[in-house]
A and B are shown apart, each in its own frame.
Chain A
Amino acid sequence: MSQTDPPPTPSARKRLALMARPRATKANALAGLLFLLLGFAVATQIHQNQTLGLETLRQADLVDILDNTTLQSARLDQSARQLQATRDQLVSGSTSGDAALKAAQERLDALGILAGTARAHGPGTRITITDPGGKVSYPVLLDAVQELRDAGAEAIQVNNVRIVASSYFGPDASGIQIDGRSVSQPYTIAAIGDPATMSSAMEIPGGLSENVRQLGATINIAQEQELTVGALHPLSEPRYARPVPPSAPTTP
């Protein structure tokens, strides 16, 4: 084709210019219509091609795209699983941390009440012993405390002295001393526990009430729904005993 081209003539451009002039012929109008259709088709096709991505692609390309998408989906799945696991860990970690904190607080409260380092309140029994003759000695009070413990008292206070595991009773110049602190009349014992059980424990034959009355003193036992044991036991660091780490094997 290109080999048989006629040599360029000077009139080529002139012919083009001549042809470009508007001529009112039927063929020219038809050509215009055809060109209009062509332009419309080109624009439409380009627009179509831009809006529809996958439909015009070949099968191999589609397979490639599908493979890539599947791979990416697998990767995203994996990362989603990892993130979910991390999130679960964090959530359960925070809740178990809360639970541990709560348990530790409860333990602290229980130990504080037991050791006498925390004030306690609740239902209980208030026992008042008035001893005008001075006959009530420290074993009587010790008996009273033991009796109350047997009856399930959880926190006990005599006058303003908190009774703990290491409390001791002894005689004093003026009467009775507990933990080295002088306790004077009237003796008021506040015990937190089941009021009915403790009251009946005091009243049993041969029990505290009978002993006190035999000594010529008066005893008053009052059951109260709300009682406060406000005295605290000063905490002393143990000199010799050390706690065993929880992980160490326990020997009997």
Chain B
Amino acid sequence: MIPALGLLIGLAAGIFLHPTVPLALQPYLPIAVIAALDAVFGGLRAVLDGIFNDKVFVVSFLSNVVVAAFIVFLGDQLGVGSQLSTGVVVVLGIRIFSNVASIRRHLFRA
């Protein structure tokens, strides 16, 4: 409940405040968002599996974001930033899909 409220408030704030992303953060923000979404769906699946843990969720959320951003940063430093970004997005996308499939099975039994 509280996280859902937080999400809505954050969305509203982002829509109405029109913040500009600092130039230094621009390559990392999309990847960080994808990583956070992965953590969210992972958490939802854990809830449905009955193995959810608040601490695990918070840590996995933060570590996902940081690691994803770090990988992109590393890729930028090595000159393969865009390729590595694509790789990270593919991997996270696969994880999101499998998590969503699991959630679907729990909720709809299908």
Contact = CB atoms under 8 A, between A and B. Distances in A.
Interface of A: 1-2, 5-6, 8-9, 11-13, 15-16, 19-23, 25, 27-48, 55, 58
Interface string B1-40: 1111111111111110011110000100110110011001
Interface string B56-91: 011001100000000000000000001000000000
A83 B3 CA distance: 63
Contacts of B109: 8
Give the contact-size bracket for chain B. Answer: 35 or more
Interface of B: 1-15, 18-21, 26, 29-30, 32-33, 36-37, 40, 47-50, 52, 54-55, 57-58, 61-62, 82, 98, 101-102, 105-107, 109
Contact of A2 (B52, B57, B102): B102
Given A32-B2, A39-B14, A43-B11, 15 more contacts: A5-B102, A5-B105, A6-B49, A8-B105, A12-B48, A27-B57, A28-B2, A29-B2, A34-B36, A34-B61, A36-B13, A38-B40, A40-B10, A43-B15, A48-B21
The winner among A29, A33, A37 for most chain B CB atoms within 10 A is A37
A2 to B, nearest CB: 5
B88 to A, nearest CB: 15
Contact of B5 (A12, A30, A32, A58): A32
Which 6 pairs across A and B sit closest by C-beta, in order of nearness?
A43-B14, A39-B10, A27-B54, A36-B6, A32-B6, A40-B10
Given A29-B2, A31-B57, A41-B36, A12 B106 contact: yes
B105 A30 contact: no
A182 B106 CA distance: 131
A33 B50 CA distance: 23
A22 B82 contact: no
A1 B2 contact: no
A38 to B, nearest CB: 5
12 contacts: A8-B105, A15-B47, A16-B48, A19-B47, A20-B1, A27-B54, A31-B54, A31-B61, A36-B6, A40-B11, A42-B11, A43-B11
B33 A38 contact: yes
Nearest to B8: A39
Given A8-B106, A15-B47, A25-B54, A36 B36 contact: no
